[in-house]
Structure 1
Amino acid sequence: MTTPIADYALLSDRHTAALVSRTGSVDWLCAPRFDSPSVLGRMLDPRAGHFVVCAGDPDAEVSRRYLDDTMVVETTWSGAAGTVVVLDALATGAADDPHALCAAAPRLLVRSVECTAGTVEVRIELVPRPEYGLVTPLVSLVEGGVQVRGGADVLVLSAPVPLQVAGAGATGTVVLRAGERVTLGLQHRTTSEPFPAPVPEAELDEALRTTIEAWRTWSRVHQGYQGPWRDLVHHSGRVLQALSYHPTGAVVAAPTTSLPEQAGGERNWDYRYAWVRDASLTLEALWVAACPDEAHQFFDYLAASSAAQVLGGDDLQIMFGIGGEHDLTERELGHLAGWGESRPVRVGNGAWSQRQIDVYGELLGAAHRLVAQLNPEHPGATAWREFLIGCADAAARRWQETDQGIWEVRGQPRHFLYSKLMCWVALDRAIAMAATLRAEDRVDGWRAAAEEIREAILTQGWSDTAKSFTQSFGSPDLDASNLMIGLVGFLPADDPRVLATIDAVAERLTDARGLVYRYRTEAGANSDGLAGEEGTFLLCTFWLAQALAASGQNERARQVFDRAGRYVNDVGLLAEEVDPESGDLLGNFPQAFSHIGLINAAWAIARAEQTG
């Protein structure tokens, strides 16, 4: 039986991530990076590997939570014979510097099991399958645990209890009485590195303790938001921190690949990369729920990844690998059944080669947020200025081109309104930063291009038939991205055309639950080049709440926010979409964009209520 997406919790050391189910099974772990092949992948196929630590009583009641101010999961099994508590964490390393959380992650999954009442049998099962399940490894007992070798991967399970090897895996049971505890650790290395020895239990306990303290120190130092939905906002900030890759500052869209937008469908994508389009929204969310340090690091990563393309006059790539890689060629893993038989399973993402002209606006919007902190005398300032000037010039030059749009449709390119809007944003923000960029001589040209874009959007992007701004020029179809028209300052948030667009989205682009679709996927003029349908999009629902708040409709904004916020799972995580029929979470998980939307909407509502 397929485990529901909402049944998982996220573990992270800011280098990679693991997903652990309510039943105590780690069903997703890529190592050593977010975008590495999985060594545990049961989430995408029953044969692709797992690591279970759970109570042996199948009738035990299960509850779980994140320990306060951390990304450490506590799962409690309460049965007739007793209670056992498991703490799961990807170890972060020492907590000396809260600004360097997970700087030296030891690549260690720690699972601590304690009996708190009665007597409980605990089941342990490790079935590793490296390279997305392609490799059946050699598993052998060593002193203090188990060693696994397969392909390029080496795993060592440290276990202070006897285990048995069978079927290219290891199993065992241990009976714990009240007050007794055992701690296990799973390390990853490659065959090019020295093989690690099992870690003594006392060191595993210390690694868990320092991880808890590291997350709490970071939260205490970095999280100051005090508005409505404070706990959700702070938790979402930690999720964004957990989805960031420490060595570069890249924020992955999600730590998973190919979790479907429709159960059994083909809309299955690899999200373990960083998108330029997320930049300004991510920076705003990091500013609210994390801190400027993370915001600066993320922008530095984007600039370093893309500057050469802009300065060379090439298309600005829309996404990059977490180390700054450009080639993200997509391929299908035909040996995997997919979550819930949703094929194909893909790694890489073909959208990397798409043309999306909105990215210039996202980059300039992100830079504008940081402009007060830019040091014009910094040694790298000249390169920054040239890069940002190049983005503005490209927006002025290319805004009339067709592209694939924000949603990366795989149909024919079109004149998407959102793409034109973000070209306007690029120019508007560049004009505002002209003195910092030392580009006053370009302002007249940028302003003229911005006015041309404005005229085109107002005349060709508005539909009298739809009584709304629409997805593309000359189309009657709605698109939730047009909610951004008032949010980016193109028109006042209470302009009648903005209000009409808000109402059109609320009335005609929502499901019975009041959640918002990105757009309608029916075949015809609005075809996106893919078969099947998708769920409602949580980011777009939060956009609706944010747009309502910006236009002074605070009560409606709160209602919409609460509708979307209702879909956090029991440990406060959001996927990309919601199934309009069942209400189940769909898509890659947890989804950074959904948590970004939550943070920015909560902040918008807080500001609206303070000023209203």
Structure 2
Amino acid sequence: MAAAPSLRPCKADAPRYLPIAEHGLIGDLRTSALVGTNGTIDWYCPVRFDAPSVFAAILDADRGGSFELAADVPARTKQFYFPDTNILITRFFADDGVGEVQDFMPVVDDSREADRHRLIRRVLCVRGSLPFVARIAPRFDYGRASHTVRAQEGHTVFESPGLSLALTSSVTVETDGQDAIATFKLAEGEAAVFALDRIGGTVQPRTCPLTEAEDLFDATVRYWRRWISQSRYRGRWREMVHRSALTLKLLTYAPTGAIVAAPTASLPEQVGGERNWDYRYVWIRDAAFCIYALLRLGFTQEAEAFVRFLSENVHLRKGPSGPLQIMYGIDGRSELPEQELRHLEGHLGSAPVRIGNAAVNQLQLDIYGALVDSLYLYDKWGQPLASEHWDTLCGLVDWVCENWDQPDMSVWETRAGPQRFLYSQLMCWVAIERAMRIARRRGLPADMPRWSHARDTIYRRIMERGWSPKRRAFVQREGEHVLDASVLMMPLAKFISPTDPKWLSTLDALGEELVSDSLVYRYDPRVSPDGLRGEEGTFSICSFWYVEALSRAGRVDDARLAFEKMLTYANHVGLYAEEIGRTGEQLGNFPQAFTHLALISAAFNLDKALG
């Protein structure tokens, strides 16, 4: 089911904040930008995903900075992706003409030109004539750093202490205080170009003529189409699956092979609430699940790159939170200090705005299962694991055998203290079981008696203490009767038969308590306090897990209806944030890798069930 295009008024009575869902994403495999349906770039961190922003109006309409580019007359807008690419088009419909802005970042090789980090905005008039206005208003270092602006040999240069940007344009640009502005009119068939480059060192300002912009547009189209053509998916929901794959690719950091959980920071899980986090890092869990989804589609190079990221950047350690951190910087760094940006008001007043992430040192045992499962699939569908990787994996599994029954924070990163979560024990079982599969298939050395004993002990513990006779369901943690959507992974991970009576009873209980018209809450904070105030929306990855669990249980008609309903909650270009609010709005960081990888998995399994 294709998402409906966005069609909304432009400029007149425009709100201070566009809804999160009213954006598309562009990127160059190093960083990305959000472009609103009004033609404004209101999130952009030059150079790399986790760099300080220069456009962050989505977090503060007054102090965040933006790059506005729109028709200078009342107009309606429609936004869509150029087919099978990550080039975004925002079209303006006015009384006297139709124009469009084509936004993209050229994908370049590892040469010095990659350091330019060019963002191109091509403006075309396709019918009649249309006036346009542009305002380029960078606010460096999340709006904390001052900058100067000056005209220099046909360029407009914005300089701050830590970063300089050069704007080149085929139309006249004038400075206006700290900003730059341009007004121009295009007749049918005419075009204009704006290019914003990071400069400094060996990268000097460079013009971007119309012909060069057109050549870069064509080259970028070829890159994305060549990449998506490798997909093996031929099922019923090809358009949505391929959009999700293209989105996951946008979230990869090419220099290291890292995959970020989302390209944004501090977009709220509840408008006006405090559940605002920075997701521009590599979560071992999220990245491992991404590898699973991309491998299913046939993209083995991304899996190879992520394994290389692990081997080159992630070093095992000793300590109470285990040999692995739950997340790392995109360059492998381990320190991600969390801080609040009190000068920013937050999206729709949702404070505090946070960068960095204090959850980095939490113990989350489930990451070992996600990682080993992805390595098992890589070994099976990609390349056989190297001997040094196997030695490292064995060390991780040995540690899991010793520590699987520790209380931890688990998959949802609660801040209410460690508990013995069923999901964490389940994924420890997965870590050991998948390692045993690799060892048996490849004939690799392993302490099989020890691993087998630990695996079976975990299984019996979950079946005995994770089952609530009172609820007739598997529950969130030992000694409680609280439901949690993370248990949907039990049949998906092949821990329990999807038609086991205990599982079917659990599925019914989840449907009654946590499911709302196909949308699934991860848990109820009122009965399972997580250390934070406020409520949250339904968790979209759980909604797709629910679809997959239904299809595996043989409830194929229910699964298809739930899946089709979930597709209607995508935004106009097929993107999902982390959560969906009570009135259908997208909430949380956007777009969210977790959601898109779960969509791919659900589509695959539902296609298989439907035959």
TM-score, structure 2 length as denominator? 0.94
Whole-angstrom CA distance in 1 between matches of 2:381 and 2:500:
32
Match of 1:185 in 2: 195
Displacement after TM superposition at 1:52 (Å): 1.1
Whole-angstrom CA distance in 2 between matches of 1:603 and 1:105:
38
Q: Name the amino acid aligned to 1:85.
A: E
Displacement after TM superposition at 1:413 (Å): 0.4
For residues 194-239 of structure 1, what are the alpha-carbon distances to aligned partners after superposition, in whole Å with 9 as ceiling and x for unaligned?
Answer: 442333333223222211221112122x222101211100111000
1:52/1:313 CA distance change after superposition, 3 Å:
closer
Displacement after TM superposition at 1:85 (Å): 1.4
For residues 285-307 of structure 1, what are the alpha-carbon distances to aligned partners after superposition, in whole Å with 9 as ceiling and x for unaligned?
Answer: 10233511112222332344434
Match of 2:158 in 1: 148
Whole-angstrom CA distance in 1 between matches of 2:238 and 2:443:
40
Maintained 8 Å contact 1:156/1:198: no
Match of 2:482 in 1: 477
Match of 1:461 in 2: 466
Whole-angstrom CA distance in 2 between matches of 1:417 and 1:310:
25
- Say yes or no: does 1:85 pair with 2:85: no
- Say yes or no: does 1:205 pair with 2:214: yes
- Say yes or no: does 1:50 pair with 2:66: yes
Maintained 8 Å contact 1:275/1:319: yes
- Say yes or no: does 1:398 pair with 2:403: yes
1:231/1:153 CA distance change after superposition, 3 Å:
same
For residues 374-403 of structure 1, what are the alpha-carbon distances to aligned partners after superposition, in whole Å with 9 as ceiling and x for unaligned?
Answer: 766x8xx23211111011111111011000
Displacement after TM superposition at 1:103 (Å): 9.8
- Say yes or no: does 1:348 pair with 2:356: yes
Match of 1:289 in 2: 297
- Say yes or no: does 1:332 pair with 2:348: no
Match of 1:592 in 2: 593
Whole-angstrom CA distance in 2 between matches of 1:272 and 1:430:
30
Match of 2:390 in 1: 385
Whole-angstrom CA distance in 2 between matches of 1:361 and 1:346:
29
Match of 2:323 in 1: 315
Whole-angstrom CA distance in 2 between matches of 1:74 and 1:23:
11
Whole-angstrom CA distance in 2 between matches of 1:144 and 1:420:
62
Q: Name the amino acid aligned to 1:88.
A: D
Match of 1:125 in 2: 135
For residues 499-539 of structure 1, what are the alpha-carbon distances to aligned partners after superposition, in whole Å with 9 as ceiling and x for unaligned?
Answer: 1111111110023x3310111111x5x11011111110110
Q: Give the root-mean-square deviation of aligned CA atoms.
A: 2.1
Give the match's secondary structure for 1:5.
coil
Which runs of 5 or more structure 1 residues have no equivalent in the other structure? 95-99
Whole-angstrom CA distance in 2 between matches of 1:393 and 1:275:
22
Maintained 8 Å contact 1:65/1:75: yes
TM-score, structure 1 length as denominator? 0.94
Give the match's secondary structure for 2:54.
strand
Match of 2:178 in 1: 168
Maintained 8 Å contact 1:389/1:437: no
Of 499, 502, 507, which aligns to 1:497? 502
Whole-angstrom CA distance in 1 between matches of 2:421 and 2:375:
24
Maintained 8 Å contact 2:116/2:203: no
Deviating more after overlay: 172-181 vs 137-146: 137-146
Whole-angstrom CA distance in 1 between matches of 2:319 and 2:270:
40
Match of 2:521 in 1: 517
Whole-angstrom CA distance in 2 between matches of 1:207 and 1:282:
29
Maintained 8 Å contact 1:127/1:168: yes
Number of residues paired by the alignment? 595
- Say yes or no: does 1:541 pair with 2:543: yes
1:422/1:310 CA distance change after superposition, 3 Å:
farther
Displacement after TM superposition at 1:350 (Å): 0.8
Of 9, 19, 36, which aligns to 2:51? 36
Deviating more after overlay: 304-313 vs 437-446: 304-313
For residues 527-571 of structure 1, what are the alpha-carbon distances to aligned partners after superposition, in whole Å with 9 as ceiling and x for unaligned?
Answer: 101111111011000000011111111111111111211111111
- Say yes or no: does 1:561 pair with 2:576: no
Give the match's secondary structure for 1:141.
strand
Of 411, 414, 417, which aligns to 1:412? 417
Of 197, 213, 225, which aligns to 1:216? 225
Match of 2:7 in 1: none
Match of 2:79 in 1: 64
Q: Name the amino acid aligned to 1:367.
A: L
Match of 2:450 in 1: 445
Maintained 8 Å contact 2:265/2:277: yes
Whole-angstrom CA distance in 2 between matches of 1:457 and 1:26:
48
Whole-angstrom CA distance in 2 between matches of 1:406 and 1:303:
23
Displacement after TM superposition at 1:441 (Å): 4.8
Displacement after TM superposition at 1:602 (Å): 0.3
Maintained 8 Å contact 1:92/1:103: no
- Say yes or no: does 1:13 pair with 2:28: yes
Displacement after TM superposition at 1:475 (Å): 1.0
Q: Name the amino acid aligned to 1:202.
A: T
Whole-angstrom CA distance in 2 between matches of 1:135 and 1:345:
17
Maintained 8 Å contact 1:103/1:246: no
Match of 1:97 in 2: none
Deviating more after overlay: 433-442 vs 136-145: 433-442
Q: Name the amino acid aligned to 1:443.
A: M
1:502/1:332 CA distance change after superposition, 3 Å:
same
Of 6, 10, 17, which aligns to 1:2? 17
Whole-angstrom CA distance in 1 between matches of 2:300 and 2:106:
24
Whole-angstrom CA distance in 1 between matches of 2:459 and 2:113:
45
- Say yes or no: does 1:74 pair with 2:89: yes
- Say yes or no: does 1:157 pair with 2:167: yes
Q: Which aligned pairs between 1:213-292 and structure 2 lie closer than 5 A? A: 213-220=222-229, 222-289=230-297, 291-292=299-300
Maintained 8 Å contact 2:47/2:115: no
Maintained 8 Å contact 1:124/1:171: yes
Maintained 8 Å contact 1:153/1:188: yes
1:302/1:560 CA distance change after superposition, 3 Å:
farther
Of 533, 553, 556, which aligns to 1:551? 553
1:101/1:254 CA distance change after superposition, 3 Å:
farther
Maintained 8 Å contact 2:286/2:593: no
Displacement after TM superposition at 1:70 (Å): 0.3
